[in-house]
Structure 1
Amino acid sequence: MKSLLTNLLLLTAATFAQQPKLTSKPNIILIYTDDQRFDALSVVQQEQGDKARFPWFTTPNLDRLANEGVRFRNAFVINSLCSPSRSTMLNGRYNHLNGIANNHTGLSDTTVTYATELHKAGYTTAFFGKWHMGKESGKRPGFDYSASFVGQGQYFDCPIEINGKPQPSKGWVDDVSTTNAIEYIKQHKSETFLVTLAFKSGHGPFQPPVRHKDTFAHVKLTKPVTESLTSPYKDQIETPRRPNANGAQNANAGQNAANSASWTENNDQKIRNYFGAIKGVDENVGRVLQVLDSLKLDQNTVVIFSSDNGFFFGEHGLGDKRAAYEESIRIPLLVRYPARFPKGKKIDQMVLNLDNAPTLLDLAGVPAPASFQGKSWVPLIEDKTKGWRTSFLYEYFYETPYNTPTIKAIRTETGKLIQYPGEEGWSELYDLSKDPTETTNLYQSANGEKLKKQLLGELSKQEKATGYINPDYADAKPVDEKGRYKRPVKEAIP
C-alpha cells in the first residue's frame, strides 16, 4: 500500500513538473491582418444565420480562438486606412496627433510604443511581416528583432529584411512570416516574449496561396443589400495626379485611385481570391496555436487576433475602405489567455484599435504612458469596469490622389453621424438600432432631428476629449475658390 502511495505521489509530482510555470507576466502574441472585414470569420457567419453573406467561408483556427477565449463583437478602428491604423496600434494615439494621416508617410513617433514599454519590463520583443509606415525599411523601432518587408511587399517570393538587411524568401509571404515567427518562439521559449505577426493578407491585389487558388471557385456569391446606394461624395471630387518616382505626372493615377474606391462589375474573382487569402491566414494562426501547444506555452500565452481595418465588397457601391460605414470601420477581435480569461465569452461594448497598446501593457502589469489615449479592455473581460465608452470619434484625412474626402464621424451604440468638413450637404445620419445596414440617411429628415442634435453634441464632446485638429501633415485637399472640393470636369459630349 505504501509503495502504491509513493508511486502515485511520484507520478503526480512528475505531472506537475511537465506543466508550464505560470508567471505574472504572460507571453504575448499579437496577430493582425490587413483589410479583414469583421464578418470574415465563420463564427460570425454562423451567428448571422440567414443574413450571412459568406456562409461558405470557414475559419476553424480563428473559431478555436473565439471558442477558447473571448470575442469582441463590436471592435472598431478610429481611422480605416493601413498606415494610420497600424501606427495607432503601436503608439496608442489618434492620427491627428501621432504623425500619420495617410499611407505614404513614415512613422516618426516611435519612442513610446507598446514594444518599447514591454522591452523595459523585461520582454524580448520581435516583429514579423507587414510594417507599412510609408515605405520605411530597416530594423523595426522598439523591437529587439524584426523580419519584415518594405511597404506593401509582394505575395510571392517577397524580399524580407532581417533586422534591416534584405534577404530573399521563397513562397507565400504570410507562410514565410509565420515560419519566421514560429522559429523565434521556439528559440525564446524560456524567456518572456512579445511577438507581433502582421500579415499582408487580405490586401489587394488579392493573391491567395497556391493551395487556395480555387478553393472558393464555385461558391455562390451574394450581393450586398446596399449595393444600389451611393456615397454622397461619389464622382464629386477631382482626383489630382501624383508624381511618379521620376517626378513626372502619372496621367492615370487619379482615375485609378477613383476606381479603386468604387464598386465596378466583374469583382467576383476578387472576392474569391480575398477569402482564399484569409483562409491561408487561418491556417497560419493554426500553426502558431499548434507550436504553443507542443511547447506547453499555451496556458500562459495571450494570443490576440485582429485587423487594421475592414473592407467594402460593394456596400454603398464601394470597394476599398476609408469611408465611415460599418463594413469599413468594424474589425474582428479575438483573445485567448487560458490561465486567466474565460472560454467562449462574447463582449458587446465598443473597443478600438486605440486600446491595443494599453491593453498589452495591462496584461504585463505595466502602467500605460500618459500619451496613450485608449484604455485596456482587460477589465471588460473580467467584469471589473465601472463604466465604458458609449461613443467614439472616427476620423479620416483626405489622401492624394484618392476620392474619399476628409471625414469626421461619431459612432454611438445606436447611431452614427458622418460629416465631411467643408461639404455640409454630404452629411449623413443613421439610426443603427433600426437601420444597421445604413440605408436611410436621416440628416435632412424631421425624424432625425432629435438624433442629430444628440450626436452633434457628442461629436463636439469627443473632439475636445481627443484634442481633434486637422493636422498639418495631412495632404492638402483639392479645393476651389469657395473652399469646397473641386468637382471633376465633365467631358463634353461630341
Structure 2
Amino acid sequence: MKNWIYITFVFLAHVSCSDKITKSENLDKSNIVFIITDDHAYQALSAYDDKVISTPNIDRLASEGMLFNKAFVTNSICSPSRAVALTGKFSHLNSVRDNLDVFDTTQVTFPKILRKHGYETAIYGKWHLKSNPIGFDYWEVLPDQGHYYHPEFLTSYGEVKTEGYVTDVITDKAIHYLETLRDRTKPFMLMYNHKAPHRQWWPSMQDLEAFKNRRIPVPESLFDDYKTKSRASIDAEMRIADHMALSADNKIAPELLEKLNYKEFLSWYEGAYLERFNRLTPEEQDQWIKVYGPINDDFEKINPKGKALTLWKFQRYMKDYLGVIKSVDRNVGRLLDYLDDNNLTQNTMVVYTSDQGFFLGEHGWFDKRFMYEESFRTPLLMRYPEKIKPNTINSDLVQNIDFAPTVLDIAGIDIPSEMQGQSLVPLFMDNKVDWRKALYYHYYEYPGIHMVKRHYGIRTKRYKLIRFYYDIEAWELYDLEKDPNEMQNIYNNPEYTEIQSKLHKQLEELRLYYKDSDSLNQMFINSDLKRLKQLENKT
C-alpha cells in the first residue's frame, strides 16, 4: 500500500512538473519570429500576385493570418529600413539615413526592451548596420551584404566561415537556436533575416534551372520614356537597358563580353562576377557552367542590341531573381514546419516582410530607392492565431515604423513615446479602426550608387505628391486611382489644383508631426558633402 501511495505521488509530481514545462513552452507572453528578406518585391510573392512565381510556404502566413496590401517603408534602402524596423523612428531620428551611416546602438530598440522584460532575443542572417548587434542574447550576422555561397558570419566570438548556400545556412542556424540554444523558460524573439533576394541574385544549385522554360511577363512600363516625369527619373542609373551588368547580374562570362566588344557600365561588374564564381567549389563550378554555359552560347549567337537586348536582360534578371526567392520560400517552410512540429505555432506571432520593395522592370528599372509604388511598397504578412483570423486582408496605410510598436504591444509592454509608429494590433481585430490617412517618405542617398535624387513626399489612399531636391527642384503628383502605374505626372494640371494645394498642406503637417524640416535637410546635406570629400581624399 505504501509503495502504491509512493508511486502515485511520484506520478503526480511528474505530471505537475510536465505541466510546468508545457507552460514554460507556451508561457503567458507570446513568442515572436520576425522575418526580413532583402529586396523582395510584393509582385514576386504569390499571395499578392501569382503571375511570375508560386510561393506556397510564405503564402501560408496569409492563408493562416493577415495580408497587408498597403504596407510601405519610410526610406526605400537596406540599412535605413532595418534601423526603422528596430527603432520605430524615421531615418532622420534613428542615425541611419543611407547605407554609409553606422547604426547608433545606444538608442532604444524593441529587442533591447523585450530583453529587459524577460524575453530571450536572437538574430541570424543579415544585419547590415555596420555596428555589432546590441540587445540580443544570440547573434550571428553576415558582414555587410554577405555572400550567397559559403558565407562568413560575424559573431560575438569572431568571424566564422560556413559551407553551403546562405539561405539554407541562415535557416539551419535559426532552427538550431530554437531546438538547442534557447532558454525554454523564457519567451523568445527571433529575427530570421535573409540576404536574398538581394543583387546579384545567385540561385542555389537546386534552383539554377527553376525558371529555365518560363517566359516572364514583361511589365507595361518597361520602356517608359519618363515624358511627364522630372529629371530625377532620367538621371537615375538603374535602367535594365543601360545600367544592369551583363556579367555580375546576367552571368555572362567577362571573356565573352570582351570578345563581343561589350563595355560594362561600371568597371567593377566583371570583377564582382569572377569573385562570386570563384567562391564556388569545383563541383559547383561544373554545375554552374552546365547551366549558364548554354545561356552564354545563346547570347553570343543572337548578340542582341537595342530593345532586344533590354528584353533579353530582363528575362535573365527575372529568372535568377525568382530562382533566389524559391530558396527563401522553401526555407521559410522549414521554419514554419519546425514551429508546427514543436507546438509553437499557436503562441507565436510570425511576421514576414522585406526591407523595401523592388522594381521588376517597371519604368525600365531594377533596384529601389524611389517613392514610386514598386519600391515604396513592401510585402507584409502576419500570422498570430491568438488574435488574427485566417485569410484576413487589411487595406490600411501601414508602414515599417509600426513594426517595433506592434511587437512590444504583442508582448504586453508599454510603447516608448519616442517611437513614431503605431501598433498594428487594433487592426488585427477590426478593419474599421480609425487609422492614419497619409504616409510620409524621405530618401537621402544622393550622390550615390544608382544616382536617385533626394526626395520626400506624402501618399494618401488615392494620391501621391513627391518633391525632388538637392541639385534639382521638381514636384510630381499622381492619381493612383486613375493611374496606378504612375505614368502621368499631373502636377500643375488645373483639374487637380485643389487636390494639389491640399496635399502640400498635409505634407507640411506630416513633416512637422514627424519632426522633419528643411533646416534638418540642410544640416544633413552639409555633413554628407563633408563625408563625400573625405572619401574622395582617401581614394
- TM-score normalised per structure 1: 0.83
Q: Partner amino acid for 2:500?
A: K
Is 1:126 the counterpart of 2:122? The answer is yes
Give the 3-state SS of the residue equivalent to 1:450 in structure 2: helix
What residue is the counterpart of 1:299 in the other structure? Answer: 346
Is 1:310 the counterpart of 2:357? The answer is yes
What residue is the counterpart of 1:208 in the other structure? Answer: 203
Asked whether the equivalents of residues 56 and 219 of structure 1 are also in contact (C-alpha less than 8 Å), the reply is: no
What residue is the counterpart of 1:218 in the other structure? Answer: 213
Asked whether the equivalents of residues 398 and 476 of structure 1 are also in contact (C-alpha less than 8 Å), the reply is: no
What residue is the counterpart of 1:227 in the other structure? Answer: 222
User: How far apart, CA to CA, are the structure 1 residues paired with 2:373 and 2:526?
Assistant: 25
1:450 Cα deviation after fit: 2.1
1:256 Cα deviation after fit: 6.9
User: How far apart, CA to CA, are the structure 1 residues paired with 2:483 and 2:157?
Assistant: 49
Is 1:197 the counterpart of 2:192? The answer is yes
**Which of these residues, 486, 489, 494, is aligned with residue 438 of structure 1?**
486
Gaps in structure 1 of 5+ consecutive residues: 1-9, 47-54, 240-251, 479-494
Deviation readout 1:331-368 (Å, 9 max, x if unpaired): 11111111332111100001101101011000000011
Q: Partner amino acid for 1:421?
A: Y
Asked whether the equivalents of residues 87 and 107 of structure 1 are also in contact (C-alpha less than 8 Å), the reply is: yes
The structure-2 alpha-carbon separation of the partners of 1:471 and 1:151, relative to structure 1 and needing over 3 Å to count, comes to farther
1:448 Cα deviation after fit: 2.3
User: How far apart, CA to CA, are the structure 2 residues paired with 1:372 and 1:462?
Assistant: 15
User: How far apart, CA to CA, are the structure 1 residues paired with 2:521 and 2:105?
Assistant: 18
Is 1:451 the counterpart of 2:499? The answer is yes
Name the one with the larger helix percent.
Answer: 2
Matched ranges for 1:5-84 at <5 A: 22-46=26-50, 55-84=51-80
Gaps in structure 2 of 5+ consecutive residues: 1-11, 239-262, 270-306, 530-539
Asked whether the equivalents of residues 33 and 191 of structure 2 are also in contact (C-alpha less than 8 Å), the reply is: yes
1:297 Cα deviation after fit: 0.9
Q: Partner amino acid for 1:228?
A: F
What residue is the counterpart of 1:331 in the other structure? Answer: 378
Give the 3-state SS of the residue equivalent to 1:35 in structure 2: coil
What residue is the counterpart of 2:393 in the other structure? Answer: 346
The structure-2 alpha-carbon separation of the partners of 1:237 and 1:364, relative to structure 1 and needing over 3 Å to count, comes to closer
Asked whether the equivalents of residues 71 and 377 of structure 2 are also in contact (C-alpha less than 8 Å), the reply is: yes
Is 1:369 the counterpart of 2:416? The answer is yes
Asked whether the equivalents of residues 72 and 376 of structure 2 are also in contact (C-alpha less than 8 Å), the reply is: yes
The structure-2 alpha-carbon separation of the partners of 1:377 and 1:39, relative to structure 1 and needing over 3 Å to count, comes to same
Asked whether the equivalents of residues 26 and 344 of structure 2 are also in contact (C-alpha less than 8 Å), the reply is: no
What residue is the counterpart of 2:521 in the other structure? Answer: 470
Asked whether the equivalents of residues 454 and 470 of structure 2 are also in contact (C-alpha less than 8 Å), the reply is: no
Asked whether the equivalents of residues 91 and 110 of structure 1 are also in contact (C-alpha less than 8 Å), the reply is: no
User: How far apart, CA to CA, are the structure 1 residues paired with 2:236 and 2:314?
Assistant: 24
The structure-2 alpha-carbon separation of the partners of 1:411 and 1:225, relative to structure 1 and needing over 3 Å to count, comes to same
**Which of these residues, 121, 130, 154, is aligned with residue 147 of structure 2?**
154
Is 1:114 the counterpart of 2:165? The answer is no
Asked whether the equivalents of residues 235 and 452 of structure 2 are also in contact (C-alpha less than 8 Å), the reply is: no
The structure number with the bigger radius of gyration is 2
User: How far apart, CA to CA, are the structure 2 residues paired with 1:376 and 1:114?
Assistant: 12
Query: Bigger shift: 395-404 or 178-187?
Result: 395-404
Matched ranges for 1:156-305 at <5 A: 156-187=149-180, 188=182, 189-229=184-224, 230=226, 232=230, 233-236=232-235, 265=310, 266-305=313-352
The structure-2 alpha-carbon separation of the partners of 1:78 and 1:221, relative to structure 1 and needing over 3 Å to count, comes to same
User: How far apart, CA to CA, are the structure 1 residues paired with 2:431 and 2:412?
Assistant: 16
The structure-2 alpha-carbon separation of the partners of 1:237 and 1:382, relative to structure 1 and needing over 3 Å to count, comes to closer
1:19 Cα deviation after fit: 7.5
Give the 3-state SS of the residue equivalent to 1:457 in structure 2: helix
Asked whether the equivalents of residues 314 and 361 of structure 2 are also in contact (C-alpha less than 8 Å), the reply is: no
User: How far apart, CA to CA, are the structure 2 residues paired with 1:459 and 1:359?
Assistant: 25
Deviation readout 1:21-69 (Å, 9 max, x if unpaired): 64431110000100011122112114xxxxxxxx141111111111001
Deviation readout 1:258-307 (Å, 9 max, x if unpaired): 9xxxx982232111111111111111110111111111111111111000
The structure-2 alpha-carbon separation of the partners of 1:110 and 1:227, relative to structure 1 and needing over 3 Å to count, comes to farther
Deviation readout 1:217-269 (Å, 9 max, x if unpaired): 22112221122223522454899xxxxxxxxxxxx9995799xxxx9822321
Give the 3-state SS of the residue equivalent to 2:442 in structure 1: strand
The structure-2 alpha-carbon separation of the partners of 1:474 and 1:117, relative to structure 1 and needing over 3 Å to count, comes to farther
Asked whether the equivalents of residues 101 and 474 of structure 1 are also in contact (C-alpha less than 8 Å), the reply is: no
Query: Bigger shift: 264-273 or 202-211?
Result: 264-273
Asked whether the equivalents of residues 66 and 392 of structure 2 are also in contact (C-alpha less than 8 Å), the reply is: yes
The structure-2 alpha-carbon separation of the partners of 1:196 and 1:237, relative to structure 1 and needing over 3 Å to count, comes to closer
- TM-score normalised per structure 2: 0.76
Give the 3-state SS of the residue equivalent to 2:96 in structure 1: coil
User: How far apart, CA to CA, are the structure 2 residues paired with 1:378 and 1:457?
Assistant: 30
Q: Partner amino acid for 2:497?
A: E
What residue is the counterpart of 1:482 in the other structure? Answer: none
User: How far apart, CA to CA, are the structure 1 residues paired with 2:267 and 2:410?
Assistant: 44
Deviation readout 1:385-405 (Å, 9 max, x if unpaired): 742111011110133433111
Q: Partner amino acid for 2:76?
A: S
1:458 Cα deviation after fit: 1.1
User: How far apart, CA to CA, are the structure 2 residues paired with 1:104 and 1:202?
Assistant: 21
Q: Partner amino acid for 2:29?
A: K
Q: Partner amino acid for 2:124?
A: F
What residue is the counterpart of 1:487 in the other structure? Answer: none
1:444 Cα deviation after fit: 2.7
Percentage of pairs with the same residue: 36
